[in-house]
Structure 1
Amino acid sequence: MKTSVKFETIFPLTTAPLIQCITNEITCESMANALLYIDAKPIMADDPREFPQLFQQTSALVLNLGHLSQEREQSLLAASDYARQVNKPTVVDLVGYGASDIRNEVGEKLVHNQPTVVKGNLS
Structure 2
Amino acid sequence: MSPAVAFAQASEKTAAPHALQTEFERFITKFRAALKANDSAAVAGMTRLPFMEDTTYSDAAKFRAKAYPEFFTKKNRACIRREKAVYDRDEENNDNYHISCYENIFTFTRRPAGFLFTDVSVND
Q: Fold-level match, TM-score > 0.5? A: no
TM-score with structure 1 length normalisation? Answer: 0.25
TM-score calculated relative to the size of structure 2: 0.25
More strand by share: 2
Give the structure with the larger helix fraction. Answer: 2
